[in-house]
Every structure is written in C-alpha cells, then in structure tokens.
Amino acid sequence: MLRGKRVVLGVCGGIAAYKAAELTRELIREGAEVRVVMTQNATRFVTPLTFQVLSGRRVLTDTFGDDGYDMNHIALADYAELMIIAPATANMVGKAASGIADDLLSTTVMTLRCPVLFCPAMNAAMYESPIVQDNLEKLRRAGFHVLEPAAGDLACGVSGKGRLPEISLIVTEAARLLSPQDLAGERILVTAGPTREPFDPVRFITNYSSGKMGYALAAAARRRGAEVVLVSGPVTLPPPYGVEAVMVESAREMFEKVMEHLERSTVIIKAAAVADYRPAVRSRGKIKKTKGPLILELERNPDIIAEVGKRKGDRILVGFAMESENLVENAAAKMKAKGMDFIVANDLNEEGAGFQHDTNKVRIIMNDGSIESLPLMDKLEVAHAILDRVKKLRRERKRDGS
Ligand code: CTP
C-alpha cells in the first residue's frame, strides 16, 4: 500500500507512544520508509533505540543536537511525502494550532508542505475540553487531517474517547492521503456479500459470498477520493473506514436500499451475490421435521441490476458475472440485457478466483465488445483495475461531452 513512500512519524509524550512502535512496523511492512521524530517527553515513555531498530534509521529528537545536523526541520520538509503524528498530545495539538515551534517536532509540522495526519490520544476529559476541540477544529480548517480517537478503556483508568485509533486505520488513512484522488467528485454505490432468504425464524437460503470483492472495491474507491455507500449483505468483514455502510439481509431489502441511494450516485458497482430466488412462504414458527421430505417452493427475487439499468440515466453501471461455462458469451449477454457499461466475469473453474478467496482472476468485458483478461491478483488490485476502467469511461464521456 505504501511502497517507497517517505513518511515522517512524529511521536509525542503520551502513554500511547508505545503503540507508535507497532505503527512504525506496520508502515515499514507496507513498504514505507519511515523517519521518526520524537519529543523529549516521548523519549521518557519509549526509548529512541526502539524506533531506531524498527525504522532502521537514526531517530531525531533535538533541533540543535548532532542528529539535527543532517536532518533538520527544513531537510525533513523536503524528505516527507506524509507526516503522521501519533500519538498527538493536547500539548502538540495546541502548539501546532497556535503556531508555536519550540522543538524539532513542532518546527517540522510548521515547515512541511505535504499532508499531515494528527492522531490524537489522551485522557477523555482532556480530549473533550473545549480548548482541545477548538484547536483540532483550527487544525482542520488549516488543512491538516485529524483522525478521531477511539472510545474505550484508557490507560489513566477511565473509559471514554481518547484511545489512539487502531493501527490498521492509521495506515489506511495514510494510504488514502498518499493516493492520487482521481475519483474525487464520484459518488460510488457498491453492493457486496450474499443475501439471506429466510423460510422460518431460524433458517435461510444463502450462498458462499464472503463480500471480499465488494469491500475491496469500497475501500479502494474511498482511498481514491470517492464518496462511497456500501450496501452489504451479512458478512464477517468490518466496513472500510470512511465508507457509509448500509447493512441488509434479503434481496428485497437490498433492492430497496439500492433504489434509495441510486439518485445520488454517479457510479453503481454490483458485486453482491444476490439470491435469485426466495422461499415463497416464510413460516412464522420454526418448521418441525416430519417423516417425509420437505418441499420448499421458491419465487423470483427482483433483479436489482436490471432495474438499475433501466433507471441509470448517465450513471456508470458495472456488474459481475460468475459462470461455470461459456464465460464470455454468458457474461456479455448479461451485460447487454441488463444495461451495464461493463461486466467483470469470474470463471468458477479458475483456481484462486471467486467466492471466499483473497485473490481473483477476472475478465473485463466492455460494452464496445473489447475484452481484457487480468492475471490472478489480490482482490484490492482487482478493485483498482475495475476503478481504472470506471475512470477511463468517465474521461471518455467528458471528452465526448455526454
Ligand atoms: N444481480 C442483481 N439482482 C439479482 C441477481 C443478480 O442485481 N437478483 C446482479 C449481481 O449483483 C451481478 C449480476 O446481477 O452483478 C449478475 O449476477 P448473476 O447471478 O451472475 O447473473 P444472473 O443474471 O442472476 O444469471 P444466472 O444466475 O442465471 O447466471
């Protein structure tokens, strides 16, 4: 996610400083080059040696000392593509908001021209204090990015909002801030996961969809600056940060939510594995077993994408097809019949593709008849490849004035 990116990590003097060590590891694992700057107080919680070992680089703590010689605040400004301040204490937030620059970290914040992400972590009462809130607001207005702290048990013994956000979330935000915002202005509606079609209060019909492809699409679109609504059937994945998640169970509920959000959307990507049929009758009580067989009558669910196709106007509509035979012919026929701009076709016979896997191997069939076969890739990479096609279509339409 962060291959080759140069990140300056500012660590302030709060108990969450120990978590900054894990953050350093994660940033490095994602491919970033990390330079750590610590305040004097931070070095009382965790030694610079810890960060030196983890980052593989000398840690900077002093504007005037030896370490400030080759990498001072000016050099850091030229070096950094992103600065993360984690934990950001009330003191550092206040200093940055008021233009105080009295140590290497605060002078660096003032010199940088790259995005700066503050990750506040402090006692809940401190965080809620109107002064800290005002300062955070001031930072946001000045173009700094601020990640809300998480709620939970705090090291000081109280419970409330003030915990350093999850490391994975900080890394996700870092990736977003370092990505080109080439989908800014798009409002993308993604559907994901299976649907559940109940026939009594405890049983339902469903399929093996894990939601991974749709969730990867939502995360990738958000990272590239789009506003994202994710209408999802029941899955075990957490919704990606910054995405509006709308959870549904049945195909009919999914239909309703998709139609509700259609008006505001500019792009619709239907990655959900919608059940084509539902039990015709839903028993109020649990169905008891009998000696004979149980016959369930099934009736058709609404075809969501076909309905979107009819109402889409100039929106871009992308569908998925999962086939076990005649992949290209069947997928192309679905695309035409349902008014899609392009379709992403999965071959059920391919190793590592389709439901449950972290990878996918797809063919992208465009409305103009062109077909592209992508190699086996991580679902996040497939998501970016799909979004690249969306971007290309948008560019072509703008050029043609439609
Ligand atoms: N889809 C939908 N509503 C349904 C069924 C499918 O919106 N009731 C969407 C899926 O999200 C997917 C596309 O239609 O983007 C193709 O789904 P698929 O199940 O492969 O196609 P079907 O048209 O249902 O054809 P079949 O099941 O006969 O292969």
Domain containing residue 167: CATH number: 3.40.50.1950
Residue 148 CA to residue 156 CA, distance in Å, equals 19
Q: Residue 330 CA: which ligand 1 atom is closest? A: 29
Identify the pLDDT of residue 68: 45
Same domain, 118 and 225: no
CA of 219 to the centre of ligand 1 (A): 23
CA of 274 to the centre of ligand 1 (A): 6
Same domain, 202 and 329: yes
Q: Are the beta carbons of 218 and 244 closer than 8 angstroms?
A: no
Same domain, 26 and 173: yes
Answer yes or no: is 151 within a domain. yes
pLDDT digits (tens, 9 = 90+) for 66-88: 554 556 778 898 999 999 999 99
Strands 342-347 and 362-366: antiparallel
Q: Residue 308 CA: which ligand 1 atom is closest? A: 7
CA of 374 to the centre of ligand 1 (A): 21
Domain count, the chain: 2
Residue 305 CA to residue 125 CA, distance in Å, equals 49
342 φ, ψ to 5°?
-155, 165
Q: Is 156 annotated in the active site?
A: yes
CA of 305 to the centre of ligand 1 (A): 7
Domain C-terminal end among 157, 177, 197:
177
Q: The pTM is what?
A: 0.90
pLDDT digits (tens, 9 = 90+) for 129-149: 999 999 999 999 999 999 999
Residue type, 79: Y
Per the structure block, which two tokens stand in for 170?
């900080």
Same domain, 305 and 388: yes
Q: Is 264 helix (H, G, I), strand (E, B) or coil?
A: coil
Query: How many CB atoms are closer than 10 A to CB 362?
Result: 28
Q: Alpha-carbon torsion 119, 124, 127, 128, what sign?
A: positive
The pick from 269, 270, 300, 365 for probing ligand 1's pocket by mutation, whose C-beta has the most ligand atoms within 8 angstroms, reads 270
Answer yes or no: is 182 within a domain. no
Residues of the chain with confidence (pLDDT) below 70: 65-71, 402
Residue type, 270: K
Same domain, 212 and 145: no
Residue type, 253: E
Pocket of ligand 1 from Cβ distances under 6 Å = 251, 270, 272, 274, 276, 301, 303-305, 319-322, 334
Report the candidate in 202, 390, 189, 376 with the shortest Cα–Cα distance to residue 289.
202
Answer yes or no: is 1 within a domain. no
Same domain, 203 and 144: no
Strand stretches in 170-315, DSSP E: 187-192, 197-200, 203-205, 227-232, 244-247, 267-270, 277-279, 298-300
Answer yes or no: is 339 within a domain. yes
Domain C-terminal end among 148, 177, 206:
177
The pick from 276, 298, 329, 362 for probing ligand 1's pocket by mutation, whose C-beta has the most ligand atoms within 8 angstroms, reads 276
The residue written with tokens 């402090």 in the block is: 122
Full residue range of the structural domain in which residue 349 is found: 187-400
379-400 and 212-223 helices, crossing angle to 10°: 50
